Amino acid sequence: MHYGTGGRKSRFRVSAARREALRLLGKKGELELDTDRGLAGLEPRDRALAREIVAGTLRNRSRLDFCLSGLLREKPESLPPPVLDVLRMSAYQLLYLDRIPAYAVVSDAVELAKDSGVAGVVNGVLRNLARRSEEPEIPRSAGDPVGWLALNYSHPRWLVERYVQAWGEEFTQGLLAANNLKAPLVLRDDSADPAAGKLQRRLQAQGIDCRAGRYAPEAVVIERQDLNPAELPGYPEGLFYVQDEAAILVGRLAVSPSAKRIVDFCAAPGGKITHLARLAAGPTLLVACDKSRRRLARLRENVTRLALDDLFTVVAEARAPAVGPCDLVLCDVPCTGTGVIRRKPELRWRIAPSDLVSLSELQAEIIEAAAGCVRPGGVLVYSTCSVEREENRLVVDRFLAAHPEFCLEDAARYLPAEVVTEGCLTTFPNLHGTDGAFAARLVKRQP
């Protein structure tokens, strides 16, 4: 069996999937695996493999480093980042993807590392790892349960420490495990009567297994992860929008039948404002604001596909809104995104404790600005895709303390009781099978 070495040109050509996976693992910031142009240019099979390698490597990063540390003379993190990425992604394939030949993984890894000067090390480490029959067990330490949880479930220690302090070890373990599961594809049925099941029948007629959501009548859940939503029946004619059930619930909490002027201050890519457009009763003016022209362009594409003629887009900074009194104002604010880690595994490694401070300050500024745009008797909905209290209930509590003209309306009036905590929408992946989300409905009192 030939694995190749760093000393001569390999006779194996690196697969496009692995080359793209390495590029994505080296990117800074948020990954968009569904819309990345590099991935879009691959054959479907290569695209699926690249996504699997990237997501799997990120979900299991700490475990992979633990495996590699027993084969390296130095700590994994002391290696150049590109080399470490090659080792991690290759170790993931060898340990978790049993249908991929070891020789292909190792040969491609050596070729990808050939300019690093340590291709020989990569070759030796991966050949030794390929000989192992199973992944080494991570020993528990009675004196450091946080350390074991962080390592075994590949989450940063500071985040695990927070969760254990807030909810205890058992809940935290369940949450970390849920974060590492592959999230289902969830569609928001935008037909005139979602309860009639038209979308589900069309999908099933194409041999696609699906089921209704647990909490929202619009939600259609598909467990397969290898489907391209744009290729599903009903997509071209705007029959559905890809949106997790927790996010759908935010729209259900926000809906106000009498609202005729609705604005979303952080609207792109458009999930919540397009849902409100579907739920609106009668003629309604909807304005979608976002400071990013690029993200607004994506929103406009969705608006066109969904044929929403009464929805307008505006480039605007949420902290300085240029709108008059509105019946409904939605603030789906920027946040750490810890509720969607199962969909965006890179988030756990990208965020830092300081982000909680800076983002909570930004969130407070946005909700403060939004308050001035709500007419008496109108509604302000504050939402995040975070499970952090600093970004959720504490922001709302501070706002209410400073604004007695607003009151919290119980979310249980609009949503199933199972997803309501302390009067607010509150979901967790391990409890509800949805993304983690938070939303509060605030009503401005009449004078």
**What residue ranges do the domains of the chain occupy?**
16-131, 154-179, 185-242, 245-444
CATH tag, 16-131: 1.10.940.10
The tens digit of pLDDT for each residue in 182-218 reads 999 999 999 888 877 889 999 999 999 999 999 999 9
Q: Which long-range contacts (CB under 8 A, 24 or more apart) does 133-136 make?
A: 135/63, 135/67, 135/95, 136/66, 136/67, 136/70
Q: Which residues contact 407 (CB under 8 A, 6 or more apart)?
A: 400, 442, 443, 445
**How sure is the predictor about 317, in pLDDT bands with cuts at 50, 70 and 90?**
confident
User: What's residue 6's pLDDT?
Assistant: 41
The tens digit of pLDDT for each residue in 49-60 reads 999 999 999 999
Are 107 and 12 in contact by the 8 Å Cβ rule? The answer is: yes
What is the residue-averaged pLDDT of the chain? Answer: 91
| DSSP H/E element including 384 | strand 374-384
What percentage of the chain carries pLDDT values higher than 70?
A: 97
Which residue, 329, 447, 284, 446, is CA-closest to 377? 446
The tens digit of pLDDT for each residue in 129-163 reads 999 867 888 888 778 999 999 999 999 999 999 99
Which amino acids are annotated catalytic? 385
Are 269 and 35 in contact by the 8 Å Cβ rule? The answer is: no
The tens digit of pLDDT for each residue in 253-304 reads 999 888 999 999 999 899 999 999 999 888 889 999 888 888 888 899 999 9
Average the pLDDT over 351-364 and give the result. 97
The reported pTM is 0.92
The fold of 245-444 is Rossmann fold (3.40.50)
User: What's residue 133's pLDDT?
Assistant: 67
What are the strands, taking DSSP E only, across 76-218? 185-189, 211-212
**How sure is the predictor about 3, in pLDDT bands with cuts at 50, 70 and 90?**
very low
Q: Which residues contact 166 (CB under 8 A, 6 or more apart)?
A: 389
Question: Does the 185-242 domain belong in CATH 3.30.70.1170?
Answer: yes
